[in-house]
Amino acid sequence: MSAVAAFFYLFSAVAVASAFMVVVSRNPVYSVLFLILAFVNAAGLFLLMGAEFLAMILVVVYVGAVAVLFLFVVMMLDVDFAELRQGFINYLPVGAMVGIALLVELILVVGTWTLSPELIRAPAAGAATAPTISNTEAIGQVLYTRYIYFFQAAGLILLVAMIGAIVLTLRERTGVKRQDISAQVARTKATAMEVRKVASGAGLEG
Amino acid sequence: MNAPFVMPALGPVLPELVMAVGALVLVLVGALRGEKSYGLVNGLAFVTLALAAAALVTQPAGKVLVFGDSFVVDGFARIMKAIALLGSAVALLLSVDYLRRENLTRFEYPILIVLATLGMMMMISANDLIALYLGLELQSLAAYVIAAIHRDNVRSSEAGLKYFVLGALSSGMLLYGASLVYGFAGTVSFPGIAAALKGQSGLGVILGLVFVSAGLAFKISAVPFHMWTPDVYEGAPTPVTTFFASAPKVAAMAMMVRVFIVAFPGIIGDWRQIVVFVSIASMALGAFAAIGQRNIKRLMAYSSIGHVGFALVGLAAGSAQGVNGVIIYMAIYVVMTLGTFAIILGMRRGDTYVETIDDLAGLSRTQPFMAYAFGAILFSLTGIPPLAGFFAKFYVFAAAIEAKLFALAVIGVVTSVVSAYYYLRIVKIMFFDEPAESFSPLTPTLKAVIGVSTAAILFFWLAPAPLVSAANAAARSLF
């Protein structure tokens, strides 16, 4: 057994096992951590296939951002997952039936799938196809040249998403005391101090 | 190793560049000047729209492809962009007074309108599936946010949430269809898809086409993907509804025309069934469901569903004449819609805006100008000659008859007669019912918009030539 095959079985076994653990673990935080493990192993599988860019993106985007976001949501929202999972056994037969039906359909569809030879042709125009360069290099060559328009448009969409999140959620709280350094520096003795004569035996009113 | 970088030609995208840079400047101005900068940002947004319009009309005629053929500028794109810019600018103009009264003067509002308009221009010029999706998403995302801009109002938040959830679903369907089309055609570019299909339709392409049409039908709120329209139109603040009903409809319709005419010209028999069904269903639902409505914004939502159905009659024809009809229909529809919503924004007593049809009772005695103008607009929406609405319907039905779609044309005329019932009922309420409490006087802006749109509707028959010949030239640029 070659090293590649050994790594393939290692990554896929761990990925399947951790995916299973995502579903069955009682603590939702463990679920998210197993999800991260599944992502990392999927990234390993991508590496074995020579798709190193996808592997990097999977780790950066899914592990670095999405899974951490999940973790935040799980920790901040007070969801009783044990309660949600009640009745799991009751619904198991129906769920299993639906699952088996879907599986059979998938097998029937994919099993009879034949690709017309005409359709297997060169990928979309503009993609660099030289086999000597890596995926990342090929993407880098077209991302800011051939696809500059899409890149900029995606940037604008992200800007709208950011503005939207701020518009809909940011609330200016009143009564919060903030440090205003320029106001502090601008204070003079005249504005900061007040000297009063206090008559002996009398208090200071107001 | 590295291919030499060739600077893409930026001249053809100057209007979009102006909008994008303008939006960034507006964000900076708003961020630096803080909450009080609404007036300034709003003014600058008008400047941005005007500069983009100026850049648009000074573009040389002819067809230009840029950015690796994914962005096309032709006669069709130019006229649709001009209509969209006009719709956005007037919707923004109408919003000022309302936002001030309702205390919604946030500088993000004009920025989001500018970004949504930029998205529309990108949709109109999209020449491949990726550009189409990015433009659509830019426009929709900004629209979801402004639907919920009145975030302390339950109905506005509900409108935003509903629009977002259903919009995300439709985007998903569109993407799924686009991926199928890409898979079976081997390219995302519209002319490339047309060339790859060679007039042959396979099951996979048809499936992709159905999903793409479903996504597009959602964006123009055509039946059976119209469910969000009444709720969103009613719940969103009225100036936002004005915006939704005008410019984005034009852009989405332009995008739909370009997808069907440029990417799938060879399989017209396949997509014509879809368009005919959607068109008939929209016209019928628009005519019958509006009858029971009491809220004028909800009624206008059903009315706009019906009008989309009428415009689709022109697309179903699939000819240059049909596209010509669609362009004329959308131009006149935008003018009528802006006039109607200017009147709805004028339905104000003191500081409260009212929205029920009964509030219009006896308007002819309390506010004759408003009543007569609204009367003219309603007759035009019905399609009574010699008002502009008649010509809009005339051109699409003529194209349908030319394409031998007689049943479609007859059903269109019948539903148009049914819709006359609810339009004319409003006229009856305004002119013959006992007057309700009078509205506050119209602001000068509203008066101007109502006056201009009514005049355009009344006197269109005197000089239809500029619009008709421009639409004709634009339609021919697609074929």
Query: Which residues of chain A make contact with B135, given a CB cutoff of 8 A?
Result: 153
Strand B64-66, strand B71-73: pairing: antiparallel
Looking at the predicted structure, is the pLDDT value of residue B464 above 50? yes
User: For a pLDDT cut of 90, what percent of chain A falls above it?
Assistant: 33
Highest mean pLDDT among A62-71, A124-133, A176-185, B214-223: B214-223
Q: Which residues pair with B349 in a beta bridge?
A: B352
Looking at the predicted structure, is the pLDDT value of residue A84 above 80? no
Q: Are B317 and B403 in contact (CB under 8 A)?
A: yes
Contact B23 A141 (CB under 8 A): no
Greatest distance between any 2 Cα atoms in chain B: 82
Per-residue pLDDT tens for B203-257? 888 989 999 999 999 999 998 999 999 999 999 999 999 999 999 999 999 999 9
Peptide bond into B386 cis (omega under 30): yes
The whole-angstrom separation of Cα B250 and Cα B273 is 22
The per-residue pLDDT for B61 is 85
Q: Which of residues 100-139 of A touch B (CB under 8 A)?
A: 119, 121, 124-126, 133
When scoring A151, A158, A160 by the number of chain B Cβ atoms within 10 A, the one with the most, hence best to mutate, is A160
Contact A163 B6 (CB under 8 A): no
What average pLDDT does this structure show over B339-366? 91
State chain A's mean pLDDT as an integer.
Answer: 83
Contact B108 A167 (CB under 8 A): yes
The residue in chain B having the minimum alpha-carbon distance to the alpha carbon of residue A172 is B35
Peptide bond into B224 cis (omega under 30): yes
* DSSP sequence for B296-358: HHHHHHHHHHHHHHHHHHHHHH-SHHHHHHHHHHHHHHHHHHHHHHHHHHT-EETTEE--BGG
Per-residue pLDDT tens for B118-129? 999 999 999 999
Query: Which residues of chain B make contact with A124, given a CB cutoff of 8 A?
Result: 186-188
Q: Are B388 and B379 in contact (CB under 8 A)?
A: no
Is the CB of residue A199 less than 8 Å away from at least one CB of chain B?
no
Per-residue pLDDT tens for B63-78? 899 988 899 999 999 9
